[in-house]
Chains A and B, each alone.
Chain A
């Protein structure tokens, strides 16, 4: 790499185009590097040969003919250079934008069918979705049972303590499933809506607020969440 750089500089050196520092650098490199030294000597020899064989003296032009040609040329209107383009360039730019637009619509229509979830198109099968939903229900159960079994006597011991991270990941999974299942399975969507409300309540629950677990319990029963879960798992 370093030698390549110096080889480029050898030519500039011989043309006297290097400054003092560059010259000194090159000279010291040539002393150390036999390959560059050889290249330097050979290039100098080539320059000598080129100088010795300079082209012959330029023959005399026919000035009279040239002058006449110029005289005739300047009286003609300058001919417009033949353009490669038949139409003004903006026409091509506009056409290109239009074609891209039309192709975009065409590709969009082929690749995207309204109503079909993009995630399903990406390869998620219905079986996999059912399995994920059932798994999600199984994960929800321990949390919901904890709140469903909450009794007022627990108030003395304190409130239910569930790791916030667990609730957050359940909430995220719930949101994702809700988006995927939306309009495909109304019972599942309804359950996930209810679970969403409950999980948000749990997530916002503060330790000092002793009334919240009872409210969550009521919410679980009011919305028949366990019944809906059972129904869905049987389907």
Chain B
């Protein structure tokens, strides 16, 4: 079934993007509803894979939702992320957990500051490990544009992480 085959992939992307289960579920529903209503636009002869077509709709739905809920996103995602971290790292060294929490918090904070498109590009590249070419195709833009946005996204992440990394480095020196 088309739903069974594709739901996990789209939900995973939507969750990575929004860091919120409910938002990700909304994106998943919206993606399938949009796809259903736009089925006449899907061109089989155009060598397009149905999953890719659906994935592209999912990406656009995610970007749209993030743009719509920009303010809401900042508070919800931060809280949600912290909850996940604290509940899943009980067995680890508390100091190490704290450090990971701190870094994740920073990453989430910076990702929230990025534009919807930059954030999507970073997630598709870094977490979904798609190629620049694939991302450009999904987002209907040039490879140059994807590279530029990716550079900006990573540069934005590099700055706030510097302090944390330096602290890490000094702690390692002490050991």
Contacts and interface: CB of A to CB of B under 8 A. Distances in A.
Interface string A147-160: 00000000000000
Give chain A's interface secondary structure class. Answer: helix
A70 B33 contact: yes
B154 A53 contact: no
B25 interface: yes
Interface in A29-50: 42-43, 45-46, 49-50
B158 A12 contact: no
Chain B contact residues (Cβ within 8 angstroms of A): what range? 35 or more
A55 B161 contact: no
Contacts of A66: 7, 11, 25, 28-29
A56 B85 contact: yes
Given A42-B162, A53-B103, A62 B25 contact: yes
B3 interface: yes
Given A73-B29, A73-B33, A59 B107 contact: no
B3 A11 contact: no
Interface string A51-88: 01111111101110111011001100010000000000
B157 A61 contact: no
Contact of A56 (B88, B164, B165): B88
B15 A59 contact: yes
A11 B151 contact: yes
Contacts of B165: 42, 45-46, 49
Give chain B's interface secondary structure class. Answer: helix
Contacts of A12: 132, 147, 150
Nearest to B99: A53
Contacts of B100: 52-53
B33 A11 contact: no
A11 B150 contact: yes
Nearest to B4: A63
A15 interface: yes
Nearest to B148: A8
A59 B22 CA distance: 11
Interface of A: 8, 11-12, 15, 17, 42-43, 45-46, 49-50, 52-59, 61-63, 65-67, 69-70, 73-74, 78
Interface of B: 3, 7, 11-12, 15-16, 19, 21, 24-25, 28-30, 32-34, 36-37, 81, 84-85, 88, 100, 103-104, 107, 125-127, 131-132, 147-148, 150-151, 154, 157-158, 161-162, 164-165
In the A-B complex, list the 3 residue pairs whose CB atoms are closest, starting with the nearest: A73-B33, A69-B29, A78-B37
Given A17-B132, A59-B15, A63-B7, 17 more contacts: A11-B151, A46-B154, A46-B161, A49-B103, A49-B164, A50-B107, A50-B126, A53-B100, A53-B104, A54-B127, A55-B16, A55-B104, A56-B88, A59-B21, A61-B21, A61-B28, A73-B30
7 contacts: A12-B147, A46-B154, A53-B104, A56-B85, A61-B21, A61-B24, A78-B33
